[in-house]
A and B are shown apart, each in its own frame.
Chain A
Amino acid sequence: MAALPRRIIKETQRLLQEPVPGISAVPDDSNARYFHVIVTGPEDSPFEGGLFKLELFLPEDYPMSAPKVRFITKIYHPNIDRLGRICLDILKDKWSPALQIRTVLLSIQALLSAPNPDDPLANDVAELWKVNEAEAIRNAKEWTRRYAMDN
C-alpha cells in the first residue's frame, strides 16, 4: 500500500492533538485509514449521555471522495439504519474535499441533535418520528440508555 498521504497524517495528528469536544477519533493500529470514533450524544437531545461508537474509513482517493462512516452502537435515529449506516448528504453527493474527518464527525453529532425524518433511512423510525415524536424520542432515549451507556 502506498504511503499515507500527508493530508491524512495531518488530520490524524490534529485530531489527536486538538480533539473536538465530544468526539474522539483514533486511528487503528494496523490501518491508519481506519478510525475508531466515539461520539457523545449532544446535549438536549434524546441521545444525551450516550457514547456512540462509530467506525470511519478513509478510502483510497480520500479526500477526493468521502470517508465511509458507520455507527457501531445501535441507535434509534431516523437517518441511521439498523446497520448503522448514516444518511448524511456530506457523506454522499455533498462531499467536498475541503471537509475533514472532524467536520464530518461534527456533522454527524449535529445530525444526532437534529434528526431529519424527512430524509429517512430507517423508514419505521422516521415514520414514528413524524407521527409520534414523543414516543420516538422516548425510544431513542431508551436505546441510548440500553446500548450507548455503561459500555
Chain B
Amino acid sequence: MEQFEQLLTCAICLDRYRNPKLLPCQHSFCMEPCLEGLVDYVRRQVKCPECRAEHRIPYQGVQGFPTNVTLQRFLELHIEITGELPDPTSGQIMERCNICSEKAYCSFCFHCDKKVCPDCKGAHMDILRREICRINNQIRRSIHRLQDSLSLVERNTQNIQSNCSSVSEEVEEIYRRLSKALKDRTDYLRGEVDRYLCTELRTLTGLKENLEQEISNILSNCDLADKHINENVDWDDCELMDAKEIFLKTVEFIRNFEYENSDYGRKVRLILAHDPNQLVLHVAGFGDLNIAHQQFGGSGGLLQPPGGGPGLMRSKSDHRLATQFRQQEERGYDKGYGENAQDDLPLSGRKFGDRTTRSTTSNTDRYDRYGRGGGADYGDEYEDTNRPARSRYRSRFNRHAPADNDSDTEPTTRGVRFSEQHKERERTLDTEEVTRGPLSGIQRLADSPRVMKKLQENETNKKKEKENPPAQPPPQPKVTQPTIKKPPVTTRQVSEDDEISKIKKQNKGATTSTAPPEPTPTVTVTKRADDVEDRHANTRRTPAPEAASSGEDSDASESSVQQIQRKTVKTPIVNRRTSGPESTPTHKKASRSTSSDSTTSTESSASSAIRSSTVPHTPEETKPKYTPRITESTPERTRTTSTGTSKGSSNQKTFQSRFLPNRTPTVVPTPPSPKEPETSSEEETESEEESEDETPKPVTNTDMSKTDIGALLARSAHARDTSDTSSKKEEPPYSKSRYDDTPTTYTARTRNTPKDEEPTGYTSRFINKNRTSTDDTKASDDSDRYSSPKSRYSALKDRRQRLARSKSSHAFGDDDETDEAISPTTANPTAYMQSRGYGSTTSGNDLARSRSSHALKSRENSPDRTPTNEKDGAALSSWARYLKNKYGNRSSGKDKDTGTGTVSSSGSSSSAARRLSLGLPLRSSDVGSSDDDQKNMSGSPTTPTAVTVAAAGIAAAAAGTSPKEQYLQKCNLLFKIGGRGSEPGLFTWPRGVAVGPDNSIVVADSSNHRVQVFDANGNFLKEFGQYGNGEGEFDCLAGVAINRIGQFIIADRYNHRIQVFDPAGRFLRAFGSQGAADGRFNYPWGITTDSLGFIYVCDKENHRVQVFQSDGTFVGKFGSMGNKPGQLEHPHYIAVSNTNRVIVSDSNNHRIQIFDVNGKVLSTFGSEGSNEGQFKFPRGVAVDDQGFICVADSGNNRIQIFHPDGTFLKAFGSWGSGDGEFKGLEGIAVTPSGNILLCDRENHRIQVF
C-alpha cells in the first residue's frame, strides 16, 4: 500500500497527483503547479525532473501533454478503496489570486469579493476574526444598554404591578369607604326615623289621652248639666256661678282648642342631597381608570437610551462599531414592531442562512449592500434620507456603509469589511429553524446547526489534539458577534476571566431552569475552554426569563405608558437572550441595584401620580384617609431623590443629555414652591428629571453612567415622563381653580425676595446641615434661617414656629429634611432654566448637595415618611399636584428669585386651595396635624433652593449657580495639595491630573515617577508606580486619565508607551513604543478617554493625536506638524467632551483646536498673546459636562475658561507661588461639581478652584 501510495504521488509536490500529465519520457507530474513550474519559457522546454530528459512544450503549453489516464484511474481506484475524500481542488483550475497574484486554487472570498488564494483567504479570515472580536468587545461594552433596558422593563413591570395593585387597593378603599358611609348613613337615618317615631308617638299618645280625658270630663259635665241643672235640683247661686264659669271655660276651651296639626302631622321625608339617580350614577362611576398614553414624539426621547436617539447615534457614531450596534438595534426595533416588516428587515431579508451570493445579486438588491458596502449605496442612501427617521435608520443599517450621513466618516474599508462579514454569515449559517430575538431578529448562533456542528467538531478535535483549537473557535466568535448576541454584560470586565466564568456558571444555572431552545449546543459549548467559547456559552446560557418577558409584554399592553413600554420591552427581550436578569454579573448588579432602587422609587412616585389621576374626583371621605398617608409618604420620597441624585446624578447627567435632548425642553422646571405635600412627590420626580436634564458635568462620569445608570436614568426619566404626561392631560381644569385661589399670595410673595438676602440666612443653614445630622440642629438651623427674615418670611416663620411648637422636634427635623429633599429638585430646575439663559442655579448644586447635606438627610429620613408623599400624591388628584408643580415652576422660571421666597407663604392657602379644587370641604379638624405638615412642607422647599444658590455662590466648592456664573466666580483657591518632595502627598513636577469616578483626584507625579490618588478633599489615598521601564514603572509620566470603569490610563512619557492600571493600581497592560508608526509614540503627553473607552493620546513629538481602543488597539490618528487648521505642533493635552468633541491644546501654535472623533477640525481658537482669549503655550485642557473649556494657559500663568463655542468667558491667575498664582501650568481637570483642578508644576502642587 505504501508503495502504491507512492506511485500516486507526484514527485514534485509530494502530493497525490492532480491532473497528471504524461511526459514523453513516461514520467508523470501534476499539471499545476508542478509541471507548470518546470517550464523553461525561453526555450519552450520542460526538463523531466526524474530523468532530466528535455521535451518541447506543445503549442498549448503543458496542457498539451497527454493526461496520464491510467494513473488517473488508479487515483480513482485508490480513492474508492481507501474511501478518502476526493481532493477538493480536483477539477479546479488554478488562477491568479486577486490579492497576491500568485497562482493557486482560488476560491471566492466574501471578505473582499474576489477570488483569492487560500493564503490570502486565511489572512482575511483572520482579519474577520479579529474584527469580530473587536465588534464583540464593542457589543459587550454596549450590551449594558440592553441590560439596562431589561432592568427598566423589569422595573416597569414592577411598577405597573405596584401601580395597579395600589390602584386596586385604592379602589377597594374607596369602595369600603363608600359602602361604610352608605351604611352609616343608612343606619343613622333609620335610627333617626325610629327615634322620631317614638317621640312623636309618645307625645301623640299623651295628647290623645288628655283629649280623651277632657272629652269625658266635658261630656260628663254636659250630661250633668242636662240632667241636673234644672228646677229639680236645688242649687245655690254660688254653685251655679261656679258651674257657669266652668261651662264658660269649657266653651272657651273648646272654642280655642285647636289641634296643632302641623306639629304632629309632620311627615318625615327622606330628603336626598342629590338626585338618587345621580347619586347612583356617581357611585356607579365613582372612578375611572385613566391610562396615560405617552405621546410618541415626546416620549420617544426618553426611550432613547435603550433604543438610541439620532442625536446620540450621531455623537457616538464615529465609533463605527457603536453605530452599527445602534443601527442593528434600531433595525431590531423595526422588526419588533413589525412595521415596515418587509423592507425593514435587513436581517430577515438576508437571514444568516440566506445564500445571497454576490454573484447572483444585483446591485439593486438592497441586501446586496452587505456584500458590497460599495458606492452604489450612496444613491439609495440619499433617497432614504427623506424617509421617516425609522426607515432611515434601517437604511443605514443596511448599508453599514461608509455613507453614513451623520457626519461619521467611517473608513471605507472598515465599513466594507463589516458588511462582508454579514455576507459570510449569510452563507454560513442556516438559520431557518433557529431561535431569533423577537425584537431584533438576531439569531442565537448557538442554535444554528452549523455553529453547533462547528463547535462539536472543534470539541472532538480538541480532544484528539490540543493544537488545533485556534482554527475552529474563530468561526464561532465570528458568528457570535454578528448575531449580536450581545454577550453577557461583561463588557467592562472582559479582562477578568474569572468574572466571566462566574457569570457563565450563573447563566448556566439560569439556563437550565429557563429551558433554552436546544439543550445540545449548550453542552458542547460548556466544555470549551477558550474565552471565546466562554462568552459564547454565556450568550447561550442566558436565555433567561421568557416568562418574564412575556409577562412584561402583557403588562405593557395594560400599562398606561404603552409606547414606552413597548420600546423598552423590545430591547430587553433581546437582552433576555443574552443574559437573563439572573445572569447579570454580580458586580454590576450591585451598582445597578442601588441605582435601580432609586429609580424604582421615582417611578413609584410617577406611578402614584398616575394612580391619583385615575381617581380624579376623590370623594369627600377619601380625603381624610389620604391625609394621614401623606404625612408618612414624604420622607421616602426625599430619600429616594437623594439617593438617586447622589448616586446617579453625576452619571445620569451624561446620559440624559445625550438621550433626552428632546425631552429637556418639555420638562417642567420644578417649582421651588411646592405648596402642598402632594406636590412634593411630583416635584421630586421632576427634580430628578431636571437634574438629569442638566447637561452632564463630568466627562469621566459619563462612562460610568453609560454602563450602569444610563438606562436607569432613562427609565426614571421615562417614568417621570409618564407622570408628566398624565398630569398634563388633566391639568387644564385644575389649573384654573388653583390658579384662582393662589394668585394673590403668589404674586405678592414673589416680588419680595431679593437675591442678596438669601445668602446670609441660607448659607449658615446650609453649612450647618452639612455638619450636623441631628434634628435639633436642624431646628436651630431653621431658626437661623428665619432669623434673617424679611417681612415676607415672617408669615412663613410664624407658621414654622407654630409647627415647631405643635410638633416634636423630630417631626420638625423631618420636615426640614423633606424640604431639603425637595430642594435639590427645585434647585435643579432653576439651574436648568439658568443654563438656558434664565438664570442662576447650578447643576453643580445638586451634586454638592447630594453628596453633602443632602446625603445626610436622606440617610436620616425616616422611611415612614415615604408613604406620605405617595399617598399624598394619590390623595391629590394628579392634576392638582401637577398644577402646583407647574405653577410653581412657572413662577420660578420667570423670576427665580421670587420663586424661592414666594412659595413658602402659600402653604396654608394652597392647601386650602387644593381642597377647594378637589371639591373637598375645608375641615378645620382634619386639617389639624396633617395640614400643618403640608404647610410646612410646602413652605420649606423654597428655602432650600435659596440655600443652595447661596451656598453655591459663596462656596466655590459647592459649585456656583449656572456653570457660567460658577466659572465667573472662580478665582479663589479652594484648597491646594502638595508641595515639593517625594513623600506621599508631595510632588515633583506634577503634570497630569484627572478626576476619578468617585471624585478622587489622580495626579501624575511626573518626576517622582508615580501616580498619586487623593480623595475629593485632597487627602492622600494611595500611590503607585516607580522609576523604570518595566511593567507598572514609569519614566516621567505625563498625562493621566481614568476611564469609566476606574482604570488608570497613563502616558508613560519617556518610555513612549501607554500603561493601563486597574482601579487598585495594579498593572494591566502597556502598549506602544518609540517611533512614528501607528501605535508608536514620541513622548506621549496628554491622554484622555471618552465615554466608549477609546483612548486619545497626544503624541507630542509626532505632532499628532492617536486614538486607541481600550485594549490598546490602534484605531486612528489625526494631525500632522504644521499650523494650519487640523495640524498640530506639540500637542500637549487633550480632553473629550461628552458630545465627543476632542479638544487639543495645540501648544506651539498657541491655540486650542477642537476635532470631532474622526479627526476633522471643528473649530480652532486662540492665538499667541496675553490678552483675553490668547495663549502662550497652552497646556492642560479640560471640558466640563456643559462643554465649557478650561485651558491652562501655561505661558501666561493663568486659567482661561471658554464657552463651548470657544468664546472667552473668564481668566484668572498670575505668576507667583501664592494661592491662585502659578508657575508653569500643566494638566487641568474639572470635577463633576465644577471644581477646577490644576497642576502647578513649578510650585509642585495641585490647586483647586
Contact = CB atoms under 8 A, between A and B. Distances in A.
Contacts of A99: 49
A64 B38 contact: yes
A7 interface: yes
Interface stretch (A70-78, A79-87, A90-98, A136-144): A90-98
B13 interface: yes
Given A3-B122, A64-B37, A98 B15 contact: no
A6 B37 contact: no
A63 B15 CA distance: 13
A135 to B, nearest CB: 37
B546 interface: no
Contact of B52 (A3, A63, A94): A94
Contact of B15 (A10, A64, A100): A10
Interface string A1-17: 01101110011000000
Interface string B92-111: 00000000101000000000
Contacts of A11: 14
A4 B48 CA distance: 24
A98 B122 contact: no
Contacts of B52: 94, 96
Interface string B1-29: 00000000001111100000000000000
Given A7-B14, A63-B12, A97 B119 contact: no
B625 interface: no
Given A6-B15, A11-B14, A63-B12, A96 B100 contact: no
B38 A97 contact: yes
B100 A97 contact: no
Contact of B102 (A2, A7, A96, A97): A2
B119 A98 contact: no
Contacts of A5: 13
Interface residue tally on B, bucketed by range: 10 to 19
B47 interface: yes
A146 to B, nearest CB: 39
Contacts of B1121: none
Nearest to A10: B14
Nearest to A96: B49
Contact of A98 (B37, B50, B118): B50
Contact of B12 (A7, A61, A94): A7
A61 B36 CA distance: 13
A23 B117 CA distance: 35
Contacts of B14: 6-7, 10-11, 100
Nearest to A95: B49
A96 B50 contact: yes
Given A64-B38, A94-B52, A98-B49, A6 B100 contact: no
Interface centre among B49, B100, B119, B122 (most CB of A within 10 A): B49
Nearest to B11: A98
A98 B11 CA distance: 5
B13 A98 contact: no
Nearest to A3: B119
A100 B10 CA distance: 12
B452 interface: no
Contacts of B15: 6-7, 10
Contacts of A94: 52
B613 to A, nearest CB: 71
B112 interface: no
Contacts of B38: 64, 97
Contact of A96 (B47, B118, B119, B122): B47
Interface string A36-76: 00000000000000000000000001011000000000000
A3 B118 CA distance: 9
B667 interface: no
Contact of B13 (A2, A7, A61, A96): A7
A2 B100 contact: yes
B122 A97 contact: no
Interface centre among A2, A3, A10, A61 (most CB of B within 10 A): A2
Interface in B1084-1118: none
Interface in B736-785: none
B34 interface: yes
Contacts of B49: 96-99
Contacts of A10: 14-15
B186 to A, nearest CB: 97
Contacts of B47: 96
A130 B38 CA distance: 38
A85 to B, nearest CB: 24
Contacts of B100: 2
Interface in B31-83: 34, 37-38, 47-50, 52
A6 B119 contact: no
5 interchain residue pairs of minimum CB distance: A98-B49, A96-B49, A98-B11, A97-B12, A97-B49
Interface of A: 2-3, 5-7, 10-11, 61, 63-64, 94, 96-100
Given A3-B119, A98-B11, A98-B12, 19 more contacts: A2-B102, A2-B119, A3-B118, A6-B14, A6-B15, A7-B12, A7-B13, A7-B15, A10-B14, A10-B15, A63-B12, A94-B52, A96-B48, A96-B50, A96-B52, A97-B11, A97-B12, A97-B49, A99-B49
13 contacts: A2-B119, A5-B13, A6-B13, A6-B15, A7-B14, A10-B14, A11-B14, A64-B37, A96-B49, A97-B37, A97-B38, A98-B11, A98-B49
